[in-house]
Amino acid sequence: MSWQSNCTHQAVLTNYFCRSVFQVRMPTIIMLHIFSSLLAKLSLPKLHQFGARLGRILFFISSGSAAVQRRNLLQSQLVSTDITAVLKANAEESGKSLIETLAIWQKSDDALLGLVKQVHGWQHITAALEAKKGLIFLTPHMGCFEITSIYYGAKLPITILYRPAKLKWLQNLMNVGRARPGVTLAEANTQGVRKLMQALKRGEAIGILPDQIPAEGEGEWAPFFGKPAYTMTLASKLAVKTGATVIMAFGERLADGEGYTIHLTLVESIATSTLLNQAIEKQIAQKPEQYLWSYNRWKQRRHAIKQ
């Protein structure tokens, strides 16, 4: 679920593309708000057509990001055929993700809920609610970041961990767009973690972006597709401490703008960072072209290298 919240769950994708597209520092927030409002008036097929074209353009003009995308996809060893074709498809999916996110922030709940065509695995939620130990939704940088939390929040309360956007002027637009019934935002700090714990104790759901590079002191090294990656420990600690049910959530983007299918997969254990990464790898393998390979998951930040 758009437990994007930094990106989520969460602004990694949006931050990257906004830096690429809105380089001018004029009333950028006003421009983006108007642009987002116009996008919200378009149908999903039109949004995805526009997004795919934008993704292809950015793929060719942003050589640095394209290089990271290629390197990361090769590291995963998930592609055994024509990697160039997969890279181009992935660029299109990334473009769709940006455009649909900006539109979703301005669309009504009713319009968005109608875009969810199927939900697989809801029985896991039913069982978790009966257990009354809470649910931890894990949503990697994959598929539609926003639709899953909106869908769940329309039915049941959920608290989503997020880290404020690096682009400060973007944060207000993001917060307004995510202010949905049933959805509570928790900033990634001590107070935010306390909110997560309180939600779990009430037997409610929380959402976490599990593949985001954590801040200093909040992660440890663990293999991810065969290469060490600095991995968050919060999700594992919360799962072990509360006994909450862990569910991997993925909002699959359907072809031709037909809508979304939400996949909810029960995760047996994320007691360690290695198990957490294995669960993420398994999810990505189901639809690798919809993962954000331009996100540098193996980026070695200085605080991580010190460890």
Q: What is the pLDDT of residue 118?
A: 98
Q: What is the pLDDT of residues 87-116, one digit of tens each?
A: 999 999 999 999 999 999 899 999 999 999
More confident residue, 179 or 222: 222
Single pTM value for the model = 0.88
For residue 14, pLDDT beyond 60: no
pLDDT at position 6 over 50? no
pLDDT in tens, 181-218: 899 999 989 999 999 999 999 999 999 999 988 988 89
Give the whole-number percent of the chain exceeding pLDDT 70.
86
Percentage, residues of the chain above pLDDT 90:
70
User: How would residue 247 be classed by pLDDT, with cut points 50, 70 and 90?
Assistant: very high
Render the burial of 171-200: b for 16+ CB within 10 Å, e for the rest: eebbeebbebebbbbbebeeebbebbbebb
**Can you give the pLDDT at residue 9?**
38
Strands (E) located in 97-244: 116-120, 135-138, 158-162, 183-187, 205-208, 219-224, 227-232
CA distance 45 to 24: 29
Give the mean pLDDT of the chain.
88
Flag whether pLDDT at 274 surpasses 50: yes
Backbone φ and ψ of 210, nearest 5°: -80, -15
User: CA-CA distances (angstroms) from residue 61 to 20, 21, 26, 58, 66?
Assistant: 10, 11, 23, 5, 9
Residue 32 pLDDT > 90: no
Q: 23-37, 95-109, 117-131, 166-180: which has the highest mean pLDDT?
A: 117-131
Where in the chain are the domains? Answer: 12-297
- For residue 223, the model assigns a pLDDT of 97
Q: Sheet harboring 183-187: ordered strands across?
A: 116-120, 260-267, 245-253, 135-138, 205-208, 158-162, 183-187
Report the amino acid identity of residue 83: I
**Two tokens, residue 121:** 């695995």
Instruction: Give tens-digit pLDDT for 276-298.
Output: 999 999 999 999 999 999 988 88
Question: How many CB atoms are located within 10 Å of the residue 61 CB?
Answer: 10
pLDDT at residue 10 in the model? 41
Predicted confidence (pLDDT) per residue in 68-83, tens digit: 999 999 999 998 888 9
